[in-house]
Amino acid sequence: MIFRWKTCPVAILMLAISATSLFAQNRPATAAPANDGMRIALLDLGYVFENNARFKNQIEVMKQDVEAFEKQLQTQVEAQRKLMETYAVGSPDYKRAEETATKKMADLKADMELKRKDVMEKEAKLYFDTYQDIKRVVDDIAKRARIDLVLRYERQPIASPAGIVNPRDTLKLLNQPVIYDNGLDITDIVVKMLAPAGNSAQRPAPSTR
């Protein structure tokens, strides 16, 4: 799944975009079917994020950066611990080292908080930028296929093992806005259109059904 450092409410917020209407287009009169109904499509936004190469690569870079930072902090803490072990407990040198260690730990904690804030801001911007890319692609598909409304849904069915009912999964199932669709899912098209330019030849044209 998507990288998280501790808890990142910003990232959770970005993925919790309203499940009612994600993108809407002004409906052109020529696009209306004979019964004057709306043309509706469905999009699994979470799946698009998880299958976006650029997004995943940048998340991995952030993850490696955090791991390197944590390793650096751990090295400093270990060095301070070993230094204190060279002094006799209660000796003047030990007390001075203990005071130095206390100050050092406070500094490391401050550094960690700054790093956490920096990571959360970068992750939030990455989600925002990726969302804008997705929106541009969906807008293009909707205009070309004369789609009036694109709704967010989860394409992966929720299933529990036989005899086991998970209350959380049950609630998630009951809260899904889409119960049935007849081939309205444009998720795969969006994923392919977000792929690197080298794969443009494989991008399918949106259906106008």
Higher pLDDT, 50 or 11: 50
Cα(96)–Cα(192) distance, integer angstroms: 61
Q: Report the pLDDT averaged over residues 17-27.
A: 36
Least confident of 19-28, 112-121, 139-148: 19-28
CATH 1.10.10.10 at 9-202, yes or no: no
Q: What is the pLDDT of residue 157?
A: 63
Q: DSSP string of 157-194?
A: PP---TT---HHHHHHHHT-S-S--SS-B-HHHHHHHT
Cα(195)–Cα(190) distance, integer angstroms: 9
Are the C-beta atoms of 43 and 153 separated by less than 8 Å? Answer: yes
Residue 52: how many other CB atoms lie within 10 Å? 19
Tokens of 48: 């698009």
Which residues contact residue 105 at a Cβ distance below 8 angstroms, ignoring those fewer than 6 apart?
77, 80
Higher pLDDT, 34 or 122: 122
Are the C-beta atoms of 146 and 28 separated by less than 8 Å? Answer: yes
Q: How do beta strands 149-152 and 40-43 pair?
A: parallel
Q: What is the pLDDT of residue 143?
A: 94
Inter-CA distances, 81 with 72, 75, 197, Å: 14, 10, 52
Residue 121 has pLDDT above 90, yes or no: yes
Q: What is the pLDDT of residue 165?
A: 66
Q: Report the pLDDT averaged over residues 23-32.
A: 36
| Domain spans, the chain | 9-202
